[in-house]
Structure 1
Amino acid sequence: MSRVRLHELAARPDGREWIVGRLETGRFVALPDVGKRALDLLGQGLSTAETARRLRAETDRDLDVGDFVEALLDLGFVAEVDGRPVPSPAPPAPTLPGIRPRHVRWTLAPAVPVLLALLVGAALLAPTRVALSYRTLLWSDRGSAVVGFGAAAGWALLLLHEGAHLVTARATGVPGRTSLGTRLQFLVMQTDISGIELAPRRHRMTAYLAGIGANLAVAAAASLAAGATAGTAHRILAALTVLALLPLPFQLLVFLRTDLYFVLQDLLRCRDLYGDGRAYARWAAGRLLGRRDPDPGLGLPGHERRAVRVYSAVLVVGTVLCLAFLATVTLPADVALLARAVTGLGAGNSAGRRLDSAAVVAALGTVHVLWVRTRWRGRRARRAAPGR
């Protein structure tokens, strides 16, 4: 090959390296200064030979630009080689493509977190506060009303949470894609904002924390509104406050790659805290079993290696506790509910009992089938995806 044409790439400095990637695909790579310089020269239309000569003159080193271009091809950064288009799969379709960065750029304004802080502060200082208790959720004597409202509000809050991630990432030019996913035994909704690594730190933090901010905004507004109302309206708004706050403790489980995990990873200046943590935990387990494989963290910078070792311990302990909870609480409860429901479907039961049992079987079955299907599709997609 002689000359290449690159796709539109974004870049930002990151310590002694550069983060370079394609926003539309979410693929990025860390390059040293010489790699970034090679990329710039190729982007200016220089051939591989001309780029190598220029780099040799600037650095007094012989660099294999051909191998460098091969790596760029694997990353999907090259659009043409010697005038011939490079075939590549179309980028995944973004969620809500009609939302353009210019439509939502206001979400990155510094005034937004200030207004959120004022709203939360007003709710905390209000003379009438919502009791953060399970009793607050039981706002009606009618169980169907409580369950129906909880389900509707829960889904609305979930969509708002993920939508906040989506629009703040879209404001930076990152497409963003929302889908179902799994975290151990949990079925979750997730928004892939790969490519946000190319944005400035303040924008990255805004995108990571946008979902938590949306939940806090709803909780604070509902709490203030509850203090200004009475009767059924007050009870519903109080229940909404608690429902908006309920998902937030889950964010502390950073071993499940929650929103706060990405904040932590960014603050610790780690490239892949979860992946490197898993690799280190496997290596440590192998050492205990007598294997003598090389430490996978030896190639990491010192600060990153220390962070990975601590995180790997959190990852192992958290995973064990979650799976223990699944084995001792969640599965026994589900099995008991399912057994009771199957019994209730018998011909000797009333129509109401059979209807209730059918609803339980349908609900449990739907959740577990969705989990299995999502887990399977996720594993298949990871096997098919090219490595970063």
Structure 2
Amino acid sequence: MGGMDQFKTPQSEDITLFRDMLIRCLEKEVLPHYDRWEREGHMPREVWNTLGAAGMLGPDMPEEYGAAGAPFEVNLMILEETCRLGLHGLSTGFNVHANIVMPYVNNIGTPAQKAEWLPKLASGEAIGAIGMTEPGAGSDLAGMRTNAVRDGDDYIINGSKIFITNGLHAGLVVLAAKTDTSKGAKGISLFLVDTSLPGFKKGKGIEKIGQHSSDTAELFFDNLRVPASAMLGEENKGFAYLMQELPRERIGVATQAIGACEGAMALTRDYVTQRKAFGQSLSQFQNTRFKMAELRAQIELTKAYLNQCIARCKAGVMTTEEASILKLTATELQVKVTHECLQLFGGYGYTQEYPISRFFLDARVQTIYAGTSEIMKEMIARGELGR
């Protein structure tokens, strides 16, 4: 048995197989068009059907719902590879759809809810979004104003959400709403909202400084009536469910960060090796060498912690503090790496002609969504010092 074959596992073979399929799909259906989508500020709806047909939407979901039942790591590989290739807008949409919404349905939903929605999400027939953030309430869920009032066998929902990834194309929104306004965050429930229902409205897309092709929108709920069977989980347990699922979301964001770091480093490595100044390549200057060495060391350390967190998440023992440490360090590192790499490009790095500028701009929101760096520090401090 030669080479490294003796160390291969069924899981690593799964990842290799899915990676090959993913790269073929992206090279044919996405990469030739992505620059145009970024300029136009949106991706075609059909991209989701293409990804679904290629088996790339929630491949770790159960086979009975049209997915592949693949290891969790396959999902993370898709996040990492899309960001490595500079497709951060697509990756963020995928993270919400396949790494957040689909697990919410699979882990909390009833058999009927799973049978209704998971096949549609796996095929791309429906695109998933999660409705948490509001104009006046981001990380402060207790300040949420969107409410759901029981009316016989239904709930009537009123309110709005903002900065919702996949908002324009969404067919399903996992919506957080207050069902008991006297209990603060403990009065929140989750609903599976079919966006074709009367009373659901989408605002125009929000223009951002980066991730231009990722559709981000404001959503409005005006006396939207949903059946009680649309509630996801138990009434007033929404906050607990959000806390339960956040570690996976933050692993996803950290994986995106690592992928983007690797993509930025690869671009920079090629550039400094070829670009000459004062009679030698930039890669021969000590500043370049030490800067790249420093970034590589930090990336490898963060990868090690990410892998540790993945193992703990799969074992069901990952803590909120660990998820916060991971999200904070990985996304702050992504901002640093893309900043330092752009600097090594000099003036060319500030042009849209060179992809490093997109890596730089796409990185910035990573320290904001899924919990800001400041909130992550507060979560870590609570674990270290108490409230």
**Could you say which TM-score interval applies, normalised by the shorter chain?**
under 0.3
Question: Which structure: greater strand fraction?
Answer: 2
> Could you state the TM-score of these two structures normalised by the residue count of structure 1?
0.25
Larger Rg: 1
Question: Which structure: greater helix fraction?
Answer: 1
> Could you state the TM-score of these two structures normalised by the residue count of structure 2?
0.25
